Amino acid sequence: MAKIKCTNCGCTELKEVFIYDIVSASECSSPRDPVNNYACMKCGHVETYLCELDPVAREKREAAEKGRERVLSETLKQAEDCIAEFKKLSEIILDENSTQRQAREARVELNKVQDRFKREYYKIRETDSKTASKLHREMEEARNNYVGNQQRDRNRYN
Ligand SMILES: [Zn+2]
């Protein structure tokens, strides 16, 4: 918690309070600067900050921003993992040394991984469309590679 200090007694224990003005109808139409108020728990003095200068509110804003960044980087990691897993699974499917059962299981996982990727991709696209399209390209490439190799395999056996 950011430190705010009572300018009257120096106490640092302040609590956010909401002060409602009793205003006439004409005054209602003139908007006031948005402020936050903190009352000193010791002497009752009220400290007022303009919202954008309020140290407590600023810290909350920054924490929320950091939280969003963390979520985004976690989502990004998930999406990248999906692409890596897709590549790994398609290799298993295409590997002639894989048993039919292994290939079948890998195919099921391959579908799941694509669904998972789609979910992460949509989340990323909301906040970072550039990164999202880069991931989308990577996934497309992996998919085309897989489909192309599958085609080659089929031609080889026919
Ligand atoms: Zn005080």
8 A C-beta contact, residue 132 and residue 124: yes
d(C-alpha 118, C-alpha 136), whole Å:
9
Tell how far the Cα of 54 is from the centroid of ligand 1, in angstroms: 18
- pLDDT at residue 5, as a whole number: 93
Tell how far the Cα of 51 is from the centroid of ligand 1, in angstroms: 21
Task: Name, in order, each residue with C-beta under 8 angstroms of 2's C-beta and a sequence gap of 6 or more.
Answer: 55, 56, 58, 59
Tell how far the Cα of 4 is from the centroid of ligand 1, in angstroms: 11
Mean pLDDT calculated for residue range 136-147? 95
Tell how far the Cα of 128 is from the centroid of ligand 1, in angstroms: 45
8 A C-beta contact, residue 12 and residue 5: yes
- pLDDT at residue 151, as a whole number: 83
Six token digits for residue 92: 């298993």
Mean pLDDT calculated for residue range 151-158? 70
Residues recorded for the chain? 158
- pLDDT tens for each residue of 55-108: 998 999 999 999 989 989 999 999 999 999 999 999 999 999 999 999 999 999
Tell how far the Cα of 37 is from the centroid of ligand 1, in angstroms: 13
Mean pLDDT calculated for residue range 112-132? 94
8 A C-beta contact, residue 116 and residue 82: yes
Tell how far the Cα of 29 is from the centroid of ligand 1, in angstroms: 33
**Per-residue pLDDT at 143 exceeds 70:** yes
Mean pLDDT calculated for residue range 120-128? 92
The full set of domain ranges for the chain reads: 14-53, 69-150
Q: How far is CA 140 from CA 1, 36, 108, 116, in A?
A: 46, 50, 18, 15
- pLDDT at residue 19, as a whole number: 78
Q: Coil, strand or helix: which one is 80?
A: helix
d(C-alpha 123, C-alpha 72), whole Å:
8
- pLDDT at residue 2, as a whole number: 66
- pLDDT at residue 134, as a whole number: 96
d(C-alpha 97, C-alpha 94), whole Å:
9
Is this prediction's pTM over 0.95?
Answer: no
Q: Which amino acid is at 46?
A: V
Q: Residue 28's CB: how many other CB atoms inside 10 A?
A: 9
- pLDDT tens for each residue of 16-65: 998 776 555 555 544 556 788 999 999 999 999 988 889 998 999 999 99
d(C-alpha 108, C-alpha 113), whole Å:
9
